[in-house]
Structure formats: C-alpha cells, structure tokens
C-alpha cells in the first residue's frame, strides 16, 4: 500500500491531524527534564506513548535530535521504530534538499528500506530546483513512502523567494505546486507527494486544485494559526489538509494521558 493510501486510511480512522515531537529546550524545562540526551529520550518516548495509535501522523523534528549529536540521532531512530511498531505513520521533519549524489544519500537515509531513519515520509526543500529532488522522489516511489515538499511557508522571509514570479508568469510556489501535481496524477485516492503550506500565509495566492495530494499546514496552535485561518486559506472543507500542532499540544505534558487528551481536543476543534 502506497503512502497516500496509508495516510488516507489513517486520516479516516484518527482525523486530519499531525502532531509534532519537538524536544525544544524550553519544553524540556517545562516538563522538568534535563537539557541532555536523557531528557530528550524521556520526552520523545513519552510522546510516542501518548500519540502512537491515536493520531494519523506524527512528525518528529530532526533538528532537535541532531543537536545532541550521535546519541540524539539514536533517539530519533528509536522514535521512528517505536511509532512504526505502533502502526502510526511517521513524517521525519528533516527538510533535506541538495543535488546529485548528495541528494541520493539523503534519499537513502530517509526513504530507503532498511535505514533506521526512514519513517513513512520526509520533508524536502525544492529551492535548488524541483528537479534536484528526483533522487528522493524516485526512492519514495520505489519504497512506497511519501514526501512533503516546502511550497509556501509562513515565515516573513519566505515570500521574497516563494512568491517571486518566474519567466513563465508563475510564482515559484506555483511552479512547485504544479510539479508536485504532475507527480500525483492518477493516484487513488491522493498521491504520495504532499506540500507544506503554512496555516498563517494569509492570501494563498496559489492554485492547489490540481494537486491531488496532501497539504501539511504548520503554524496551527502555538504559532498563532486558528481553525478560522485554516478555512480562510484552504476553504471550509479542508480536504487533504493536515494541520500540524506541536508545542500547543506538547505544553500539556509530561503525562501521556494529558498529551493524548490535548491532541484529541485539537482534532475535535477541526471537526466543528
């Protein structure tokens, strides 16, 4: 079963919510954990216990694990394995992007069978040209995994690149959308190439109607995005949109039951 099919099944069972695992130093402090690998591990595995089998998609942020060196990456590997053992889809938020053999190496790390860092999908940056992602897209296709490609982010600096207009009259973001749509053509129900579009971008300014794939919408919750923002950006139906909530849920830790209840409350708000 391809990633798009597995994600459709997970959303049907658990609702359209992606919960992040962001072991931010401030959250470690709030949970009463040390800012070292032992604290990182306790934080991350508590999140696995809370969310595994209860949400559609879990997104560990690789940078917070990498900050602790090889021992932190080992914790990320365990998080990926334990979530997958629980039957929960894992999106590794690594935002990789490069060219040639280097992109192929990233693809092997995050998208190839047998790699301990390979979840069910990975985030990618296309800003060396969408074609530079071909090794990752081919690796995802071969292994039945998915990717989420940055398209339109909500940080203020992003618009100078993403909304710039190319020689063909399209914005850079629209060119990314169109390239992803071409990869998803004919998929049932939705394709394996998703996009990242911020929940607080305001005027969308791109046409997603032909994407035929999922849209990850970070910025929901603690970063200011609301359900009203989501509907203003994507329309009331929110079909294929996966709002991401990280710190707004994680602040309810460290008890797994409290984290699980917080995620359930966010999911319920999306259904109202």
Q: Per-residue pLDDT tens for 226-264?
A: 888 898 899 877 789 999 999 999 999 999 999 999 999
Q: What are phi and psi of 171, to 5 degrees?
A: -70, 160
Rounded Cα–Cα distance for residues 201 and 198 (Å)? 5
Q: Residue 168's domain spans which residues?
A: 3-271
Look-up of token digits 């990242």: 196
Q: What is the pLDDT of residues 98-137, one digit of tens each?
A: 999 999 999 999 999 999 999 999 999 999 999 999 999 9
Rounded mean pLDDT, 167-192: 97
In this model, does residue 8 exceed pLDDT 80? yes
> Number of folded domains in the chain?
1
In this prediction, residue 154 has a pLDDT band, given cuts at 50, 70 and 90, of confident
**Catalytic choice (95, 141, 231, 251):** 95
What residues contact residue 207 under an 8 Å CB cut-off, 6+ apart? 174, 177
- Indicate the pTM of the whole model: 0.96
In this model, does residue 165 exceed pLDDT 90? yes
Q: What is the pLDDT of residues 30-80, one digit of tens each?
A: 999 999 999 999 999 999 999 999 999 999 999 999 999 999 999 999 999
Q: What is the pLDDT of residues 188-224, one digit of tens each?
A: 999 999 999 999 888 899 999 999 999 999 988 766 7
Q: Can you give the pLDDT at residue 223? A: 67
Chain-centroid distance of CA 100 in Å reads 24
Catalytic, 95? Answer yes
CATH number, domain at 115?
Answer: 3.20.20.70
Give the three-class secondary structure for 150: strand
Cα separations (Å) of 59 from 93, 99, 218, 242?
A: 6, 25, 11, 11
């Amino acid at each position: 079963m391809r990633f798009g099919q597995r994600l459709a099944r997970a959303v049907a069972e658990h609702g359209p919510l992606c919960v992040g695992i962001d072991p931010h130093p401030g959250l470690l402090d709030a949970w009463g954990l040390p800012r070292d690998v032992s604290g990182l591990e306790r934080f991350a595995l508590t999140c696995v216990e809370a969310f595994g089998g209860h949400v559609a998609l879990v997104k560990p942020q690789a940078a917070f694990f990498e900050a602790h060196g090889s021992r932190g990456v080992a914790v990320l590997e365990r998080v990926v394995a334990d979530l997958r053992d629980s039957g929960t889809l894992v999106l590794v938020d690594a935002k990789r992007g490069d060219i040639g053999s280097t992109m192929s190496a990233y693809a092997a790390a995050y998208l190839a069978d047998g790699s301990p860092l390979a979840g069910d999908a990975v985030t990618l940056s296309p800003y060396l040209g969408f074609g530079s992602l071909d090794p990752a897209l081919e690796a995802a296709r071969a292994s039945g995994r998915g990717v989420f490609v940055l398209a339109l982010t909500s940080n203020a600096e992003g618009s100078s690149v993403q909304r710039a207009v190319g020689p063909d009259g399209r914005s850079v973001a629209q060119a990314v959308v169109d390239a992803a749509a071409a990869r998803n053509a004919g998929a049932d129900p939705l394709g394996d190439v998703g996009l990242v579009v911020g929940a607080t971008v305001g005027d969308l300014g791109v046409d997603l109607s032909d994407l035929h794939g999922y849209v990850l919408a970070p910025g929901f919750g603690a970063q200011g995005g609301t359900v009203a923002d989501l509907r203003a950006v994507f329309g009331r139906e929110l079909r294929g949109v996966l709002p991401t909530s990280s710190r707004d849920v994680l602040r309810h830790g460290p008890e797994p039951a409290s984290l699980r209840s917080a995620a359930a409350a966010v999911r319920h708000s999306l259904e109202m």
